[in-house]
Structure 1
Amino acid sequence: MAGTEFVGARLRAARQAKGWTLDDLASRAGMSASTLSRLESGKRQAGLELLVPLTRMLGIRIDDLVAEPADPRVRRPSTTRHGHVVAPLTREDSPVQTYKVTFPPLAEAPEPRVHDGFEWFYVLSGRVRLVLGESELVLERGEAAEFDTRTPHSISAIGSKPAEVVSIFSPDGEKLHTRTAH
């Protein structure tokens, strides 16, 4: 069975998440606490006859115990959109989307846009011009901003060098900023 080396630790974590002792889960699953202890410590092989009652009591699937850990590396290509480079930092199925965005320097601020969503960004390098409503702010390396994207806004690098930011978008904001229009 693939991933069996993780069964014990995952079983223990699921039991502890419920706040149950070894005795609590063992009695509910119809086995001895020593058998459960040996399963959790990896000293006993985890067969289906033992896992099925345990997963039922814990409210989890057998796959939750035996699945191979996912590769945590993000392998999505960077894209260029509106002159800036957008490098994904999260997988597509992540509940929040995060990107490293490189803005080229512009003499003039781009035309402000409005759309549903929220955006958060942190300046890694360079200087960033944030036009937000009637305000124009300059953010330096190490500064962050958070705003409702229903306020007219634009972001660009200011000065002679590009600016790099880490941007976090709500799902609505992410769609507008990172998806290519068809």
Structure 2
Amino acid sequence: MDAAAVQQVLEQVGPRLRRLRERRGQTLAEVGAVTGISVSTLSRLESGGRRATLELLLPLAAHHEVSLDELVAPARRSPGRRTVRHGVTSIPLTSQPGGLRAYKQVLAPGAGEGVQPQVHEGYEWMYVLSGRLRLLLGEQEFALPAGEAAEFDTRLPHRISNPGDRPAEVVSIFGPQGQRMHVRARPRRGPAQAPAPSRQA
């Protein structure tokens, strides 16, 4: 990290400390009484007039119950802009350039109907938050109400649409290189927990 990047990170420490303090509803005097740091030093630290040092940040991180990394981590890049296509609004939830990508999609009533199925590299998992989703997958068609999920290889012709009369909301996780989510724990399946069959429209 070069000097300019370091300076940029340090400039973010003050506003973060102020947000943490205000979130707890505390005054500078109250923080100073607990940490042993003077009110004037805390004020200058929050406003950027005092350079952050390890001696100052360690007691403040402990007081606010956050890690030191949370105070000095570089600002994350904000996700990309939302896009609208065929009545489907896609809102990126992740900002990293590679790996799994997450989106929230809002399908207007009738969105996607009549659109040609698409085929591309990757693997997709989606969960219906609200409304009703129609998923065309190869030669099969599925109706997914709120609370149901689907996952599929996107090299298979597929299309999602909203056959309902109100918007449908979906969370989608897409692996452009075929990456899949790693599930660390799965519940044991008993007779009463057998997976429900896929619903076809």
Q: For the residues of structure 2 that align with 1:144 and 1:86, how far apart are their CA atoms?
A: 18
Q: What is the 5 A alignment of 1:25-64?
A: none
Aligned residue for 2:119? 114
5+ long unaligned stretches in structure 2: 1-5, 14-54, 60-68, 179-201
Aligned residue for 1:77? 81
Residues 105 and 159 in structure 1, CA contact (< 8 A), matched pair in contact too: yes
Q: For the residues of structure 2 that align with 1:116 and 1:75, how far apart are their CA atoms?
A: 22
Q: For the residues of structure 2 that align with 1:70 and 1:125, how far apart are their CA atoms?
A: 35
Q: For the residues of structure 2 that align with 1:84 and 1:73, how far apart are their CA atoms?
A: 24
Aligned to 1:128, what secondary structure does the other structure show? strand
Question: What do the CA deviations read for 1:116-145 (whole angstroms, capped 9, x no partner)?
Answer: 111110101100000011111000111110
* Alpha-carbon offset, residue 94 of structure 1: 5.6
Verify: 1:135 aligned to 2:145, yes or no: no
Residues 121 and 176 in structure 2, CA contact (< 8 A), matched pair in contact too: no
Residues 109 and 154 in structure 1, CA contact (< 8 A), matched pair in contact too: no
5+ long unaligned stretches in structure 1: 4-38, 44-64, 174-182
Aligned residue for 1:178? none
Q: For the residues of structure 1 that align with 2:165 and 2:153, how far apart are their CA atoms?
A: 28
TM-score between the two structures when normalised by the length of structure 2: 0.49
Verify: 1:101 aligned to 2:105, yes or no: yes
Which among 88, 91, 96 is matched to residue 87 of structure 1? 91
Which among 134, 155, 158 is matched to residue 153 of structure 1? 158
Residues 124 and 163 in structure 1, CA contact (< 8 A), matched pair in contact too: yes
Q: For the residues of structure 1 that align with 2:177 and 2:87, how far apart are their CA atoms?
A: 21
- Cα RMSD of the aligned pairs, angstroms, is 3.2
Aligned residue for 2:171? 166
Aligned AA for 2:107?
F
Aligned AA for 1:123?
V
Aligned residue pair count: 117
TM-score between the two structures when normalised by the length of structure 1: 0.54
Say if 1:113 and 1:94 are closer, same or farther in 2 by CA, change over 3 A: closer
Say if 1:120 and 1:109 are closer, same or farther in 2 by CA, change over 3 A: farther
